Structure 1
Amino acid sequence: MPILVMKFGGTSVATPDRIKRAAKRVGREVANGHDVIVIVSAMAGKTNELVGWVEETSKFFDAREYDAVVSSGENVTAGLMALTLQEMDIPARSWQGWQVPLRTTSAHSAARIVEIPTDHIMAKFAEGMKVAVVAGFQGISPEGRITTLGRGGSDTTAVAFAAAFDAERCDIYTDVDGVYTTDPRISAKARKLDRIAFEEMLELASLGAKVLQTRSVELAMRYNVKLRVLSSFEDNGDEAGTLVCAEEDIVESNVVSGVAYSRDEAKMTLTAVADRPGIAAAIFGPLADAGVNVDMIVQNISDGGLTDMTFSCPVNQVPRAEKAMTEAKAKGEIDFASLVADTDVAKVSVVGIGMRSHAGVASQMFKALSAEGINIKVITTSEIKISVLIDRKYMELAVQALHDAFGLDRAA
């Protein structure tokens, strides 16, 4: 039988009634001739509750016990889903990560998948099981301890299973009915995309779009796993949702496919830094060691042997960045006149594979922002993306202006 992977997020399994609704969708795929691997998240809000209990119990908690606690939410959902399917006379059983076994690295709370053996589940399919319900987000380390894959890790679990089992497709059921040209809460003109290329989805996910976890898109692109994003609250036809696929599977698309934003950004500038070989390594090495996720980097033209170095990072990492730079200066590793943090900025980006073959996208973007009186603080580009830092108060206006400027309310 062809294998289909179906992943249900926390809002899709938030209550027993929603689990029944999801189980009916699984039943339809079984009736269509599929063996199904269902990946489930914890019920909505449960993981946050479990994390809160851990932090309340231990300020400096053991990461191994953290994973043991926070992974339990998926176990409950998997068991309830299997029971619901059995009540529908569909042969199903639940699997925890260690039972598969989904083997991972030992990096607790941020483990990476190493291997997913298929023999156990395939043997059960051969015996007549129709649905394997697998707890997402979790695996087992070489030391035999439960691990978790990081927040949103159930998406990664689903794609990894689809790759390992050579599945026909991986359907991701969530609380939205697909991938939109931008956040519909900001622009009423946002349009659902029928298809989007892996590269575009990867950029959008990394730039703030919350539909799919970045690592899951990376995996899908590497193994060419077709992803379909669907709503668990609507009746879906064969062409529903958004298909995330290879670029060659898209006949025609707009030059720009979407506008993404990230509200919680900060811009940090080191002034009067010595312009010498190795200075960038001296700055960004300590930041990396401190766990600061640096994004945009701009170095000014040298003046008298001194330069300014500007970078962006998540706003909640500013104290960590300030500490790393202060300590590096105290050790004599770097020298600078001041460290200026602007915590009231946002990042807005346009993304599209069509930018590879079309000139003038940057000009069009900058004109649209200028027409609204929006000043650009930092610019970075890649082959299919242009990102700018702007004052946070203009973020929604910028998103709407760029959505209109590139005609994203209209299909290609």
Structure 2
Amino acid sequence: DRSFGKARILDIEHEYIFDILKNYDVLAVAGFQGCDCERRITTLGRGGSDTSAVALAAALDAEVCEIYTDVDGVYTTDPNICSQARKMKKIAYDEMLEMASMGAKVLQIRSVEFAKKYNVPVHVRSTFTQNPGTLVVQEDKSMEAAMVSGVAYDKDQARITLVDVVDAPGSAAGIFEPISRANIVVDMIVQNPSRESGRTDMTFTVPKGSIEDTLNILKKIKDKIGAREILHDAGVAKVSVIGVGMRNHSGVAAIAFSALKKENINIQIISTSEIKISCLIEEKYTELAVRTLHEAFGLGDMQEAAAEDKAQCKDEER
């Protein structure tokens, strides 16, 4: 389409590619770019290269899309900060989406969304070795055996608190509509219980790069929303435990919170989904929190890795 710099894919002329493949074994196709209906060059924006590859695989009905990158697969967490991180043989689309949105930088979110929509298996592999990597595929029963599949973190977070906001219908809309119009992404949101005065506190997070623009917007509407004070803190980070097995296992939150408590790490905000629990903490504790959660859920346990291997062998036999 014509959203230059962040274009969406409308169509791929796959017949043209099939014709060329009749005469050639290998084709090189430029990623990250395309053209609009008037043949003007446009680009797909962040993650465009991965998205191009997955979109081509979907259009060509390929058996698999191999993404060669600087890592040899998807790990249970960042191996740079946790030596016990283990490479996963398989990961579900939903898990990969959550890990990408929570800070993991192996694949961009758009490419995983495309892969899930068109059921394209994605093989994340290293450019520098011939070793097998990680397959991003549809969820299967073996994936639900593990309580948690990975731990992700995101330091690109800033917390903003509006103190003594009027607690009335439309207050939240009055805060977040102007922020949305400025194309600022809001992540975690917490509203405190209303006080007898009819006022409350509203806390939310935005990317660090958007904090100044967000504060400028809030200053303009401060009187309108009845906020007494605007507080902000850029020294925060988000850590998340992720896994499709959460749907069938109880006690995930208790394990996570207890592990952080043992290390005296205070949780400022909690956000959950069906397969994810995210906690906002002080940024200086990020690495400690990641290692603590990774250990608490036994993600570096070689017995668990052996169980995965056994499950995969059974799948291959079937």
**Aligning the two structures, in what range does the TM-score lie when normalised by the shorter sequence?**
over 0.9
Indicate whether 1:256 and 2:159 are aligned: no
1:302-341 → structure 2 map (5 Å cutoff): 302-303=194-195, 304-329=197-222, 332=224, 334-341=225-232
Letter in 1 for 2:75: Y
Q: TM-score, normalised by structure 1?
A: 0.72
Distance 2:226 2:184 in 1: 19
Indicate whether 1:347 and 2:238 are aligned: yes
Is contact 2:121-2:135 (8 Å) kept?
A: yes
Deviation at 1:252, TM superposition (A): 5.5
Letter in 1 for 2:13: P
Q: Relative to structure 1, is the Cα distance of residues 363 and 160 closer, same or farther in structure 2, using a 3 angstrom cutoff?
A: same
Distance 2:155 2:289 in 1: 12
Indicate whether 1:188 and 2:83 are aligned: yes
Indicate whether 1:114 and 2:20 are aligned: no
Percent identity over the alignment is: 55
Residue in structure 2 matched with residue 365 of structure 1 by the alignment? 256
Deviation at 1:250, TM superposition (A): 4.2
Letter in 1 for 2:216: K
Distance 1:259 1:248 in 2: 20
Is contact 2:143-2:245 (8 Å) kept?
A: no
**Higher alpha-carbon Rg:** 1
Deviation at 1:329, TM superposition (A): 3.2
RMSD: 1.2
Q: Relative to structure 1, is the Cα distance of residues 258 and 224 closer, same or farther in structure 2, using a 3 angstrom cutoff?
A: same
Deviation at 1:151, TM superposition (A): 2.1
Is contact 1:292-1:317 (8 Å) kept?
A: yes
Distance 2:33 2:141 in 1: 32
Distance 1:209 1:188 in 2: 16
Deviation at 1:123, TM superposition (A): 1.1
Task: Give SS of 2:233's match.
Answer: strand
Task: Give SS of 2:10's match.
Answer: strand
Distance 1:265 1:248 in 2: 33
1:37-52 → structure 2 map (5 Å cutoff): none
Task: Give SS of 2:42's match.
Answer: strand
Residue in structure 2 matched with residue 205 of structure 1 by the alignment? 100
Is contact 2:144-2:244 (8 Å) kept?
A: no
Is contact 1:374-1:390 (8 Å) kept?
A: yes
Task: Give SS of 2:270's match.
Answer: strand
Letter in 1 for 2:295: D
Is contact 1:181-1:408 (8 Å) kept?
A: yes
Render the CA deviation track for 1:40-99: whole Å, top value 9, x for unaligned: xxxxxxxxxxxxxxxxxxxxxxxxxxxxxxxxxxxxxxxxxxxxxxxxxxxxxxxxxxxx
Deviation at 1:335, TM superposition (A): 2.2
From 7, 26, 40, the counterpart of 1:145? 40
Residue in structure 2 matched with residue 288 of structure 1 by the alignment? 180
Task: Give SS of 2:24's match.
Answer: coil
Q: Structure 2: 5+ residue runs without aligned partners?
A: 308-318
Distance 1:295 1:252 in 2: 27
Residue in structure 2 matched with residue 76 of structure 1 by the alignment? none
Q: Structure 1: 5+ residue runs without aligned partners?
A: 1-104
